[in-house]
Amino acid sequence: AAFAFDDIGVESIMVNCNPETVSTDYDTSDRLYFEPLTAEDVLELIEVERSNGDLIGCVVQFGGQTPLKLAHALQEDNIPVLGTSVYSIDLAEDRERFQQMLEAIGLKQPPNGLARSAEEAAQKAEEVGYPVELRPSYVLGGRGMMIVHDREQLDRYVHEAMRVSGSDPVLIDHYLNRATEVDVDALCDDETVFVAGVLEHIEEAGVHSGDSACSMPPWSLSAETVAELKRQTTEMAKALKVRGLMNVQFAIEEPHSENPRIFVLEVNPRASRTAPFVAKTIGQPIAAIAAKVMAGVPLKSFGLTDKPYDHIAVKEAVFPFARFAGVDTILGPEMRSTGEVMGLDWKREGEADMAPAFARAFAKSQIGGGTTLPTSGCAFVSVKEDDKPFIVEAVQTLLSEGFSIIATSGTRDYLATQGIEVGLVKKVLEGRPHIVDAMKNGEVHLVFNTTSGKQSLQDSFSLRRTALMMKIPYYTTTAGALAAAQAIGAIKAGDLDVRPIQDYG
């Protein structure tokens, strides 16, 4: 954004308090303030800058959730906010008003209710039906979000959600089981909407979008579903009067049926963490274009077209778990990742679809994130009841690649009903030698483990922690497990060629 303003002859001044980012390089913007992002500090330094020239306005779209919260203070001080108006930011961020807007334009949210007290939350959760997801208003990185399975859990977590939400209501969503989550990034001005990217998450809905691996273009959605997602995004962009960038999160229930049900989870009227990933995938500087649009340049003057491409990009999150003793690696609605990597591959001659390219791109993303997938050895599989039908393909893929498989009794019995015979290993609670012993002895090279419910999570904690400390690749969703199994096949086939990123534009 700073470089884009320089292009059009506008001086830019950066305010940042994070020494780790490129935006604190002294030559990125014309001036850099290394100050806390509080209303008091920002308003004070704007006052100082106003003595040096005319203030065109402030950009709040490129700093995540923190500057969006400053928009009110800026408006109250009569400082123009460039791009999307404070009214529209409020409309997208306030759960209550956003719900009303969606109803007005005919789009759906998961069954939900709004609560301002613990008693109201309990009542709404009963109406919506457990499990539910608590979603505070105006939060960064999913803070205070929680999937709750019963009244006891609700009572334990609701006060934290209320505290995070402050005076704004907490949204109580019905949790959509086995739904596919999708991120959509769009560029907008008053007249035009350009959908820059549709990203299908590999982990199912309920894992924070910053923690989920995802692919662009979507690796399994139909063309009709993708077209409908783009239509709904365009409708919301126009209703919200977005100027600049916007990110939408959808959940699709039964995504591969004839009539998939699309639900809107939330809209962020700002650049999301997916923006640089989308820009590299389509070869367009979308942040720079958004900055110029905010400064008044029409979007259609950039000549952006929605053209198909023959490559696939996979984003994978990088986690700091190994640095924190006792932290569980299970993923949920609160963001845990500290970075991300990208794997790119392309459709080769003679390939009927993008499936082989997806497997190669996923393999590259794992390598980039520091995960070394094994090409032989023993895989351990233990999945919760609901996931058993969905782990079969991953197990069959590994067996065809020459792996041996061991499983806990429930998973082993289910696989036997599918004609798949695998070895048996004890859970930690069933006595020794158990699975953690086998992992510490170097007998296990890959872990597929999904679990749910408080007791099961506690029981399998030592398993996930041992995998982490022993650097054994582990996957805690069935979709991630299948992608990993396919990636192992791509690595074994020796297909991981590279080419310059410029060739992917």
Contact yes or no for 201/181 (Cβ under 8 A): yes
On whether residue 401 sits in a domain, the answer given is yes
On whether residue 242 sits in a domain, the answer given is yes
How many helices (H) and strands (E) are present in the chain, helices listed first?
A: 17, 18
- The four Cα atoms 492, 494, 500, 501 give a dihedral, to 10 degrees, of -30
Q: Which tokens is 396 given?
A: 């069959």
How far lies 374's CA from each of 341, 379, 383, 487, 491, in Å?
Answer: 20, 9, 20, 10, 9
The reply to whether 14 and 121 lie within a common domain is no
The predicted pLDDT at position 206 comes to 64
The reply to whether 229 and 319 lie within a common domain is yes
On whether residue 504 sits in a domain, the answer given is no
Token match 């739904």: residue? 179
Query: Which residues pair with residue 380 across a beta bridge?
Result: 406, 447
On whether residue 356 sits in a domain, the answer given is no
The reply to whether 233 and 284 lie within a common domain is yes
The reply to whether 414 and 387 lie within a common domain is yes
φ, ψ at 68 (rounded to 5°): -60, -35
The predicted pLDDT at position 423 comes to 95
Q: Return the CATH number at 35.
A: 3.40.50.20
The reply to whether 139 and 205 lie within a common domain is no
Q: At what angle do helices 286-294 and 275-282 cross, to 10 degrees?
A: 110
Q: Return the CATH number at 448.
A: 3.40.50.1380
On whether residue 265 sits in a domain, the answer given is yes
Radius of gyration of the chain (CA): 24
The predicted pLDDT at position 455 comes to 58
**CA 241 – CA 293 distance, rounded (Å):** 13
**CA 103 – CA 304 distance, rounded (Å):** 31
On whether residue 203 sits in a domain, the answer given is yes
The predicted pLDDT at position 453 comes to 61
Domain that holds residue 32: 2-83
Q: Return the CATH number at 153.
A: 3.30.1490.20
The predicted pLDDT at position 328 comes to 64
The reply to whether 302 and 381 lie within a common domain is no
The reply to whether 135 and 186 lie within a common domain is no
Distance between terminal CA atoms of the chain? 21
DSSP 8-state secondary structure symbol assigned to residue 265: E
On whether residue 408 sits in a domain, the answer given is yes
The reply to whether 162 and 196 lie within a common domain is no
The reply to whether 52 and 119 lie within a common domain is no
Q: Which tokens is 43 given?
A: 């308003």
On whether residue 102 sits in a domain, the answer given is no
Block means of pLDDT (10 residues each) for the chain, 505 residues, are 92 86 79 90 92 89 85 92 90 84 92 81 84 69 67 77 71 80 93 94 72 88 94 95 94 86 90 90 94 93 90 88 65 72 92 91 93 95 91 96 95 96 91 92 93 65 83 88 95 89 80
**CA 31 – CA 281 distance, rounded (Å):** 31
Q: Which residues contact 167 (CB under 8 A, 6 or more apart)?
A: none
Q: Return the CATH number at 317.
A: 3.30.470.20
The reply to whether 388 and 464 lie within a common domain is yes
The reply to whether 257 and 291 lie within a common domain is yes
The predicted pLDDT at position 298 comes to 94
The reply to whether 188 and 247 lie within a common domain is yes
Which of helix, strand or coil describes residue 204?
A: strand
* Count of domains for the chain: 4
Query: Which of 328, 346, 364 represents a domain boundary (last residue)?
Result: 346
How far lies 492's CA from each of 60, 147, 433, in Å?
Answer: 47, 38, 32
Q: Which tokens is 335 given?
A: 């963001």
Query: Which of 346, 362, 392 represents a domain boundary (last residue)?
Result: 346
Q: Which pTM value belongs to this model?
A: 0.85
Q: Which residues contact 469 (CB under 8 A, 6 or more apart)?
A: 322
